Amino acid sequence: MISPGLQYPIFGPEISCPHCRQIIPALTLTDTYLCPRHGAFEANPQTGELVHLQSGRHWRRWNGEWYRQHTHPDGIRFEIHEALDRLYTQGYRATKVIIASRYRELVSAYLERNTPWRGNSDSQTPRLYGLPVEFSPESKEDPCWDVINFDLEKEPGIPKRYPYFRLFE
Ligand SMILES: [Zn+2]
């Protein structure tokens, strides 16, 4: 087996661009990958991350997929919102959001909490977009949680033309 470590950055001779998914090559003897549309990405062997030099965005990779690493709560909230929209269009509805525990501090202040006067049993359960939120196990129990950002529990939903139609029923 040939060890690629000496010639190529940590992600190998080519990767798919995190922005456009096009296959892009590594530049020889550097840690850089170059996308003709999105410019240079640099692999960091210390952190295992890919960094877009122009925007400073960071990604980690799991099972061949790139996962953007968020540094601001709006970034991960937006990504969850997009995933919820996708679920609706696929005919599902989400029942729970599981957020990677490494984001606990980042997002906690932004989660909705039920007001205590309702007195129901899950009044302490934080919510996001109305859905209960849990945090993932620690990544040493399941290493994917060091990379992926969140997971959605779902159930088949009644197909509706407009996802928020039920508000008016
Ligand atoms: Zn690209």
The Å distance, Cα 23 to ligand 1 centre, comes to: 8
* Token pair 């606990």 in the structure block, residue: 104
Q: Give the separation between CA 86 and CA 67, rounded to whole angstroms.
A: 17
The Å distance, Cα 82 to ligand 1 centre, comes to: 20
Tokens standing for 77? 């909230």
Q: What are the structural domain ranges in the chain?
A: 4-69, 73-168
Per-residue pLDDT of 96-145, as tens digits, reads: 999 999 999 999 989 988 665 555 555 678 999 999 999 999 989 999 99
Predicted local distance difference test score (pLDDT) of residue 169: 41
Per-residue pLDDT of 68-79, as tens digits, reads: 999 999 999 999
> To the nearest whole number, what is the mean pLDDT of the chain?
88
The Å distance, Cα 40 to ligand 1 centre, comes to: 9
Which long-range contacts link 33-40 to residues 24+ away (Cβ below 8 Å)?
33/9
Q: Give the separation between CA 88 and CA 57, rounded to whole angstroms.
A: 28
The Å distance, Cα 24 to ligand 1 centre, comes to: 8
pLDDT range class, residue 17, cuts 50, 70, 90 = very high
| One-letter amino acid for residue 47 of the chain | T
What average pLDDT does this structure show over 28-42? 96
